[in-house]
Amino acid sequence: MPVSRSRKPKNSKQRPGPAKPAPARRSRPAPVRFGVAVLAALLVCALVVGAVSALGGGGGGGSPTQGESPTAPQGNPAESLERRDADDPFALGDVDAPVVMLQYTDFQSAFDGVHARDTHDSLVREFVDSGVLRIEFRQFPINGPESDAAARASWAAGQQGKFWEFYEVALDEEFHQNEGRFSEERLPELAERAGVADVDRFLADMESEAATETMTRDSNEALSLGVSATPSFLVNGQPLQGAQPLDAFRTAIEAAADAAQG
């Protein structure tokens, strides 16, 4: 708000009154930037209130196993949501594996980091490499601008066949949210560590319309399931929430495999 100024007297005989103190300037708050997933969340909530009303206040606090589980959709969710695209750079495992696990992730979630470091590689060795499990990754950046940037960066790495390498590098250590790990300056370094060959293309792909479409599609899918925290999983349609220990995934995957064979 501009500072008010006292008016000059109309003539020399008229004396101005005492000057009023100028009102203090109010500092403007910094504009809030939402990631694509958050904007998608607001849009979906406005359009499909009935579906999203089932969302709980799951959270980023507490133990890794806390938070509400995603709600399995009606019908056969494995058939309705799995993509089974042989050329999908965001999937691991055989396209005809009997078990498909959908993984909804925010790269800034501490619990996603726990899963990546403690459980992911074991699942790959035990179930993906043996042909039992296929993992299909979904982007769900819900923790602000750096989450959105990390999601876009991982997608861009995937365009050069390095998504899972980026996933490993991005989550290979603990860090605090919004501390700059996924800033514009540091993302090229992470891409190079992941083996991305063309960093200029990587940066251009991050800002592409295709990246935006993927963020929106994956986020809307998560919201339609009632996902409110990450990591969240669907194992042949059965929900599993949080950075669960390996045995919890082993039980869910073996049960799904038995059911698929039956």
Q: What is the pLDDT of residue 255?
A: 98
Dihedral angle sign, alpha carbons of residues 179, 182, 184, 186 = positive
Beta bridge partners, 100, equal 134
The b-or-e profile of 85-107 (16+ CB within 10 A means b, else e) is eeeebbbbbbeebbbbbbbbbbb
Higher pLDDT, 6 or 161: 161
* Predicted pLDDT at 259: 96
Long-range contacts of 5-12 (CB under 8 A, 24+ apart): none
Q: Environment class of residue 168 by beta-carbon count within 10 Å: exposed (0-12), middle (13-18) or buried (19+)?
A: middle
> 5 or 70: which carries more pLDDT confidence?
70
Identify the pLDDT of residue 68.
54
Residue 12 has a pLDDT of 40
Indicate whether 120 pLDDT > 60: yes
Say which residue the tokens 């009997």 belong to: 98
Taking alpha carbons only, the member of 233, 66, 26, 257 closest to residue 135 is 233
Section 200-220 average pLDDT: 98
| 97, 134 contact by CB (below 8 A) | yes
pLDDT of residue 203: 98
pLDDT at residue 40, as a whole number = 43
Pairing state of beta strands 232-235 and 99-105? antiparallel
In angstroms, the CA 203 to CA 164 distance is 18
DSSP 171: T
Residue 157 has pLDDT above 70, yes or no: yes
Contact criterion met (CB below 8 Å) for 222 and 140 = yes
Mean of pLDDT values over 230-244:
97
Distance of alpha carbon 159 from the chain centroid: 18
For 22-36, what is each residue's pLDDT tens digit?
A: 444 333 333 334 444
Report residue 174 as tokens: 């603990």
Task: Look at residue 139 in the predicted model and tell me its pLDDT.
Answer: 98
CA 195, CA 27: separation in Å to the nearest integer?
A: 44
Q: What pLDDT does 62 receive?
A: 34
Q: Alpha-carbon distance 152 to 202, whole Å?
A: 10
- 116, 150 in Cβ contact below 8 A? no
The pLDDT assigned to 45 comes to 40
Q: What are phi and psi of 232, to 5 degrees?
A: -130, 145
What number of residues does the chain have? 262
Give tens-digit pLDDT for 37-65.
444 444 434 333 333 333 333 333 333 44
* 201 or 45, which is more confident: 201
- At residue 34, the 3 state secondary structure works out as coil
Question: Does residue 144 register a pLDDT over 80?
Answer: yes
Backbone angles phi, psi at 126, to 5 degrees: -85, -35
What gap in Å lies between CA 51 and CA 71, rounded to an integer? 11
Mean model confidence pLDDT for the chain:
81
Region 130-148: mean pLDDT is 98
At 262, the pLDDT band (50, 70, 90 cuts) reads confident
pLDDT tens for each residue of 62-96: 334 444 556 655 555 546 899 999 999 999 999 99
Instruction: Tell me what pLDDT residue 74 has.
Output: 54
Stretch 233-240: mean pLDDT: 97
Residue 222 has pLDDT above 50, yes or no: yes
